[in-house]
Structures are given as C-alpha cells and as structure tokens.
Amino acid sequence: MKHLNLYGDYYSPEIAERIKTRKFSIDRIFKSGIIGNYFTKSMLPRLILKNKTFKDKNPIGRMLSKNAIDRFISQQTEFTKLLDKSKSVSLSRTKTAISISQFIKLKLGDNFRFIVAHNERNLVQAKTAIDKF
C-alpha cells in the first residue's frame, strides 16, 4: 500500500497542476502515444514481466503507518475527481511529467491509463500474496 501511496503523492499534484494550467480544450478522440501505451501495457497484471520498483518508490525498510489504507482511499477519491476535471482538458495535448524523469512527458490520457494499470497490478499482487497464506 505504501508503494501506491508514494506514486499517488507524485501523480495527484502533477496531474492537478496540468489540469489547472491547461492550454488546450477537450479532444474529440484520444489516441494513446507510443511511450504511454508501452508503459501502460508493461503494468497490466496479465503480463508476466518483472518490473523492478524504483528505489524512491520502494517501501522496503520504511515504516508502514496505520493510516496507509485510509491514505490510499483518499488518493483514489482525489484521482476520481481529477478524472472528472479532465473532461474539459485535452487528454492528448496536455502533457504530464512521469515519476522517473521530469524530461519524459506523457499525454494526460496515457498517464491516467498508466496509473489505473499500475494500481490494478499492485492490487492483484497483494491479493496473490494474501491467497498464499
């Protein structure tokens, strides 16, 4: 859960700022970019790819607080609000930085897709770990 919260700490403010300072109005059609589609597909739970977690997002050795689940739920509520706010923004031409590099920018729509796939992947992994007990 802490891992997902670390990503939420980065992406929620990044996306909120891009929506707030939008320059382009809504697109008729969203088409995923090559890099965004690659990142999203690499996160899908059905693919058996071993992706190493980046050091700054790896919770190993960090204290897990009692409110981690509440924080995750709060971040998901914020994410839902950001999705709603994005209805008036170009998902293709609005670009967002990614957590591994401020220089790589994804389409806002691709960033949303990546976050959903990443969360789903981690929740599937958690369920698999729980099922082993």
Domain-by-domain residue ranges, the chain? 2-131
**Poorest-confidence range of 28-37, 49-58, 107-116?**
49-58
Over the stretch 1-12, which tens digit does the pLDDT of each residue have?
778 888 899 999
**What is the structure's pLDDT at 21?**
93
Q: Are 19 and 86 in contact (CB under 8 A)?
A: yes
Rg of the chain in Å (alpha carbons):
15
Check residue 61 and give left, alpha or beta (phi > 0: left; psi -120 to 50: alpha).
left
Distance CA 126, CA 48 (A): 15
pLDDT tens digits, one per residue of 21-33: 988 888 889 999 9
Do 107 and 97 meet the contact criterion of CB atoms below 8 Å apart?
Answer: no
Residue that wins the pLDDT comparison between 17 and 23: 17
User: CB–CB of 4/67 below 8 Å?
Assistant: no
What's the whole-number average pLDDT of the chain? 85
Average confidence (pLDDT) over 65-76: 87
Position 58 scores a pLDDT of 46
